A and B are shown apart, each in its own frame.
Chain A
Amino acid sequence: MSPRERVQELQLRYAHAIDDDALEQWPGFFTAEGRYRVIPRENHARGLPACLIDCRGVAMMQDRVASLRTANIYNIHFDRHLLSPPLVEAPEADGTVRARTQFLVMQSDQSGVSKPFATGVYLDVVELGGDTARFRERTVVLDSYGVLELLATPI
């Protein structure tokens, strides 16, 4: 597979895992020191650092999953991640690849009503190993930063 295909494969598996409520798989898409951030577009554009979610390392992502499963109470919902094909840069010397990908997350409730919930762009740094591909960084720049109700599960 080309670097581009490998990045897209990683992104699709990530999206399907979340949409299938297999949140436990989510941290596994990152390198051990990987970073996952959801930042409102208004903050990103103005150089303000505040994020909605900022996990440094897989342990923090596992904590988020554990908290969502056992501690937090949030709206019962189902997500659908719709992705554009990734725009992939040429691999860097260390084998990492940068990619930009548009997304739309639709959210459905228990009465079967679906709403657009989140849209924006993923700014990814993907580490390609021999037969592995993992996110070193996944920055979710959120256009829909007027968050509808709340943001519990990862985008």
Chain B
Amino acid sequence: MKLADIPVHAAAPADPLDGFRWPTDDFTRTPYRVFTDEAIYQREMERIFRGPVWNYLALEAEVPEPGSYKTVQIGNVPVVVSRNMQGEVTAFVNRCAHRGATVVRQEFGRAEGHACIYHQWNYDSSGDLCGVPYRRGLNGCGGYPKDFKPAEHGLQKLRVALYKGLVFGSFADEPPELLAYLGTNIVTHLDRIFVKPLKVLGYHRQRISANWKLYFENIKDPYHAGLLHTFMATFGVYRSTQKGHTLLSPGGGHAVVYSVTNTDSVESVVEAYQGTDNKYQTDFALQEPGLLQWSPDFHDGIGNLIVSVFPNMVVHQILNTFATRQVRPLGTGAMELYWTYFGFEDDAAERTAARLQQLNLVGPAGYISMEDGEAIRLVQQSITGESRDATSFIEMGGRGPIVDADHVVTEVCTRGLWQQYARTMGFAPEAAA
């Protein structure tokens, strides 16, 4: 080879993931490697969480006053949600623009500004840099160059969009319009819940030894609910034989799954659970049935509703409990699930008490949700070491088009998730891309 033939700029080495494609174009299979592959994880952080999506950040009610802030995690990036002194909700990356230290160290608080402890760069409540010590030096020594412009060294900002008390953030320069991103089905069901000012009741946090997408799969899968969560099958809070709906967003990544209570009969339940490990026990009754006493907040009979928005938000209504859940990835094999419980500001004391009582049902210790963490942990544990082409099997409810269903015996929302995921990641089979 002559010297002149050697290209001056070597082409960037090809990303080995560029050839990776989903095995089926209706997303009835998911390669297990997406739950364990470090390179895929890194691409998710970039293309999904820092990509053209809206991430769920917080509730406006959590940052009620000028200066109120809280810290969250979007993908693997620490973010501060802050209501600035002008009253607008802002969000910025919690990483000093000087040399990278965490600026805001408290989980929650109220402050007019934030000073980095390392060299005391001072930021205002919007994350703009407003002061730097020794800027012109000390006693004629040191100081920043004359062309140093504080306006160019603020904390990295996210775009923020609000909808009915929910705060969303995006790293994209030109994110899609929020309501178009959510789609009609999601907006309709958010509209149903977020009807008036909220009152935050507290938090649950859960560390699950599973990939974040296993949780997202789980939450979009109403088929497991009556089978894994025996408490529900036994007490009629929710059963797969109840009437329900499974609704998707245009890209498939968001879903609404709900069921209407008391729409099944004992006979249909007994029949449905034949062949299972005796999930339905007609003789099992609570000594304190008050736990399941439900005085509906709305008059549509919906007792169990899960709204999930790609990539990190879940909103639930289970009887009288409401919560948002933020999905926070912690590497390929772990995640934090962050639950924010709320009621309404105008709730009477008894209504608040009922909501609090029903928290026994949900969260990491909840009668009808403790199993989810265990189920997906078991998946993560056993797929580690699988061959690179091994896949799961997702055909409950059929193959083919990813469309709404008027029942909940389906995994179609799970396929919808994989469709949007694969397209965002550049993994879609050509036919679906």
**Which residues of A approach B to under 8 Å, CB–CB?**
38, 40, 42-43, 46, 48-57, 59-60, 62-64, 66-67, 70-75, 145-152
Looking at chain A's contact residues, the main secondary structure is mixed
**Which residues of B approach A to under 8 Å, CB–CB?**
107-108, 200-209, 228, 230-231, 234, 281, 284, 286-288, 291, 336, 341, 352, 356-357, 359-360, 363-365, 367, 370-371, 373-375, 377
**Could you say which residues of chain B place their CB within 8 Å of the CB of A54?**
356-357, 359-360
Do B374 and A147 touch (CB < 8 A)?
A: no
Do B364 and A150 touch (CB < 8 A)?
A: yes
**Could you say which residues of chain B place their CB within 8 Å of the CB of A62?**
287
Do B202 and A147 touch (CB < 8 A)?
A: no
Do A75 and B374 touch (CB < 8 A)?
A: yes
Minimum C-beta distance from B49 to chain A (A): 20
Do A146 and B287 touch (CB < 8 A)?
A: no
Task: Give complex CA distance A70, B277 in Å.
Answer: 12
Task: Give complex CA distance A138, B231 in Å.
Answer: 25
**Could you say which residues of chain A place their CB within 8 Å of the CB of B375?**
73
Do B284 and A46 touch (CB < 8 A)?
A: no
Task: Give complex CA distance A143, B207 in Å.
Answer: 14
Do A145 and B360 touch (CB < 8 A)?
A: no
Minimum C-beta distance from B213 to chain A (A): 18
> Given that A50-B204, A149-B208, A149-B209 are contacting pairs, would A74 and B356 also be in contact in the complex, using a CB cutoff of 8 Å?
no
Minimum C-beta distance from A119 to chain B (A): 15
Task: Give complex CA distance A97, B209 in Å.
Answer: 41
Do A72 and B230 touch (CB < 8 A)?
A: yes
**Could you say which residues of chain A place their CB within 8 Å of the CB of B352?**
49
The 6 closest A-B pairs by CB, nearest first: A50-B202, A48-B202, A151-B365, A43-B202, A59-B287, A71-B230
Minimum C-beta distance from A123 to chain B (A): 17
**Could you say which residues of chain B place their CB within 8 Å of the CB of A43?**
202-203
Minimum C-beta distance from A43 to chain B (A): 4
Task: Give complex CA distance A30, B141 in Å.
Answer: 70
Do A51 and B370 touch (CB < 8 A)?
A: no
B204: which of A64, A147, A152 is its contact (CB, 8 Å)? Answer: A147
Do B202 and A73 touch (CB < 8 A)?
A: no
B288: which of A38, A51, A63, A72 is its contact (CB, 8 Å)? Answer: A63
Do A146 and B336 touch (CB < 8 A)?
A: yes
Do A149 and B202 touch (CB < 8 A)?
A: no
Do B207 and A70 touch (CB < 8 A)?
A: no
A72: which of B202, B208, B336, B367 is its contact (CB, 8 Å)? Answer: B367
B365: which of A42, A48, A152 is its contact (CB, 8 Å)? Answer: A152
Do A72 and B371 touch (CB < 8 A)?
A: yes
Minimum C-beta distance from A26 to chain B (A): 14
A147: which of B230, B286, B364 is its contact (CB, 8 Å)? Answer: B364
> Given that A43-B203, A146-B207 are contacting pairs, would A60 and B288 also be in contact in the complex, using a CB cutoff of 8 Å?
yes
> Given that A50-B359, A73-B230 are contacting pairs, would A42 and B107 also be in contact in the complex, using a CB cutoff of 8 Å?
yes
Task: Give complex CA distance A82, B20 in Å.
Answer: 50
**Could you say which residues of chain A place their CB within 8 Å of the CB of B201?**
48-50
**Could you say which residues of chain B place their CB within 8 Å of the CB of A148?**
207
Task: Give complex CA distance A152, B370 in Å.
Answer: 7
Task: Give complex CA distance A46, B108 in Å.
Answer: 10
Cβ-closest chain B residue relative to A147: B364
Task: Give complex CA distance A147, B204 in Å.
Answer: 8
> Given that A49-B356, A50-B202 are contacting pairs, would A149 and B230 also be in contact in the complex, using a CB cutoff of 8 Å?
no
Task: Give complex CA distance A54, B204 in Å.
Answer: 13
B377: which of A49, A51, A149 is its contact (CB, 8 Å)? Answer: A149
Interface centre among B287, B363, B364 (most CB of A within 10 A): B364
**Could you say which residues of chain A place their CB within 8 Å of the CB of B356?**
49-51, 54
B371: which of A56, A57, A74 is its contact (CB, 8 Å)? Answer: A74
Do B374 and A150 touch (CB < 8 A)?
A: yes
